[in-house]
Amino acid sequence: MATVIVFGLLVAPGLTYQILSDRRRPRTERSAFHEASSTVLASAVFTTVAAIILALPWHLVLRGVPREAAWQDILPVYAMVTATAGLACGLVFIFDWLRAAGAPATIVERPAWNQVFRVECPAGHLPVARVTMQDGSWWIGRVRGYGSGTGDDRELILHGHMRTSERASPGVVPAKWERVVLKSSQIRSVQVGYVPTGTAAP
């Protein structure tokens, strides 16, 4: 029972608060102690408010539990713990919504390439990228695909009517070269635009 009470009242509300907060601000590296302390502190605040709101039901339930209680006598206490934890988590959602004035969360934990190439690409359009390499050269082309993950071993694939500065005479890449694979570890920056499907040039 103690484990259920600790998790329901001192962990769940704070964990909910941390998850919602991470959607609205960049996640920073924090120690395990800092993470745990923030979770417990947030839980304590919201659980206290929830307990105050449910003070009368708590009083009635605790008064009805005998000193030598059997397991069935403690069931109302479990129910009140669940109700208090649920209300505390609900207060977290309300607080998060009020703090952002109803604005939707804009920070999501997903790779940036997936965000700009797939999620934010308008319907009926294709992503086009201008990729600047570490040595200052650049490539322009439609995005054919990209590797998953966030490490330096990913690749970005361009195709279509590509242009580059790597040739002796910078310009259009010969049509016989249909794809170019660029390693993320060699990329300095990526500029992204969107063109309607069927457009000949990138």
Query: What are phi and psi for residue 19, nearest 5 degrees?
Result: -65, -45
Which domains, and CATH codes, for the chain? Answer: 2-99 (no CATH), 112-196 (2.30.30.100)
User: What is the 8-class DSSP label of residue 102?
Assistant: T
User: What is the 8-class DSSP label of residue 174?
Assistant: P
End-to-end CA distance of the chain: 63
pLDDT in tens, 68-108: 554 455 667 777 778 888 888 888 888 888 877 655 555 55
The mean pLDDT value for 103-129 works out to 78
Query: What are phi and psi for residue 42, nearest 5 degrees?
Result: -65, -40
The mean pLDDT value for 25-29 works out to 61
Give the whole-angstrom CA distance, residue 183 versus residue 185: 5
The mean pLDDT value for 139-167 works out to 82
- Asked if residue 64 has pLDDT above 70, the reply is no
The CA R_g of the chain, rounded to the nearest whole Å, is 27
